[in-house]
Copies of this chain bind each other. A is one copy, B any other.
Amino acid sequence: MPYPTLEDVAARAGVSRALVSLVMRGSPKVGEARRAAVLAAARELGYRPNAMARGLAAGRTGIVGVLLDDLGDPLAAGVHEGLAEGARDRELRLLLGTGRGEAAAARTALDELLDLRPDGLVLAGARLTSADLDRATASCPVVAILPPSRADRADTVRAEPGGPVHLAVEHLVALGHRRIAVVDAGRRPSPLRRVYRGALKAHGIDAPVLDLAALRAAAPPTPPGGAAGDTGRLPTTGPAPSEPPSAEPVSAELMGSELMGSELMGSEPVSAVVALGDPGGAAVLTTLLRAGRRVPQDVSVIAHGEAREADAVGVTTVAVPARELGRRAMAALLDRLDGGDPDRRPVRATVPPVLTNRGSTGPVRPAGTGATER
């Protein structure tokens, strides 16, 4: 069952190929009667124009290639929705490729997309070298969802630099928190560790940095036999509080790197935690809950990075609004596609971060008090 061609439609409608072509592209200069006949013939045959032939002949393909780093990336779905929204009622088809988290695959995927001669390209967090980015930029209009440093010739859309961090820190500080820990639950140390340390230091807060294992050690699960909610203390930057020895106040990694040279702060337990590398904060939250901590009564949790589960588990997050990122990216691309001046200087768009309060943060509990209203 081969696909019907323009010619088949023309034959069936009793007109020439060119006429059918005009009708298919919605040209106004076709008589009503003919147009109806052509459309009827096309429908009867189940005709759909061959995008390959069309692209070849027209010199534009109507394709916008979208290169994602990884389908599992919590940003990916949102960005894609924003792109689709931005491209609505435009004769553009979004085609996705992904590097599946690997640089080599990203490169291949980029080439495959370029081979299709897309009208434009959106590179969303893909692990590309500058050379590859340049190659893409030289081939067609490109908007990158990345810091501009990586893609100087492409339009870029990204989070306000430091925006989410600032938002998270201000939020906690406004709630009265002064003893704040950063928990990096990622597999590899996040660059955000020192950004948060710096931002907190600006408030006179010297925040310890833990990984998930260290957090678990510091706040071990409530032992099976014991009463819940009463053992374990979050580490402090000072000497260990008078606690059972099981509660390691500071992890080796903490001592080894992040805390070197920091000022000790006393023995109060941490009242708030910033979760990195754990989009949505679910892992950090459950670790704390398992340790018998009530969130947010005993400890507030805010996660850097949005994810589906943030809503499900109720963790407050600061994040870049992914949809908005996608919308802005598509807007920049359309502007470039429609726009006159192909050599105008690159767009440098910035999107403000969003704090979504899901109740995992609350005012610091006054020292010595049993409870605090949220």
A residues contacting B by CB (< 8 A) are 1, 3, 46, 48-53, 55-56, 61, 70-72, 76-77, 80-81, 84, 93-98, 100, 105, 111-112, 114-117, 135, 138-139, 185, 221-222, 224-225, 227-230, 278, 280, 282-283, 285-286, 289-290, 292, 294-295, 297, 307-309, 312-314, 370-374
Contact = CB atoms under 8 A, between A and B. Distances in A.
Contacts of A314: 286
Contacts of A61: 52
Contacts of A56: 50, 52-53, 56
B95 A97 contact: yes
B224 A227 contact: no
Contacts of A370: 224-225
Task: Report which residue of A49, A139, A228, A230 has the largest number of chain B beta carbons within 10 angstroms of its beta carbon.
Answer: A228
Contacts of A286: 282, 285-286, 289, 312-314
A29 B371 CA distance: 82
Question: Which of A72, A76, A94, A280 has the most chain B CB atoms inside 10 A of its CB?
Answer: A72
Contacts of A135: 46
B115 A49 contact: yes
Contacts of A81: 100
A307 B279 CA distance: 13
Contact of A48 (B52, B115, B285): B115
Contact of A71 (B71, B278, B313): B71
Contact of A95 (B48, B95, B185): B95
B228 A3 contact: no
A97 B98 CA distance: 12
Given A50-B115, A76-B71, A294 B228 contact: yes
A-B pairs, 7 with minimum CB distance: A228-B229, A289-B289, A283-B312, A224-B371, A96-B96, A71-B77, A72-B77
Contacts of A49: 115
A116 B52 contact: yes
A95 B115 CA distance: 12
A228 B371 CA distance: 12
Contacts of A84: 100, 105
A6 to B, nearest CB: 13
A94 to B, nearest CB: 8
Most-contacted residue by chain B among A116, A307, A313 (CB, 10 A): A313
A139 B4 CA distance: 11
B371 A283 contact: no
A159 B50 CA distance: 35
A208 B154 CA distance: 56
B313 A283 contact: yes
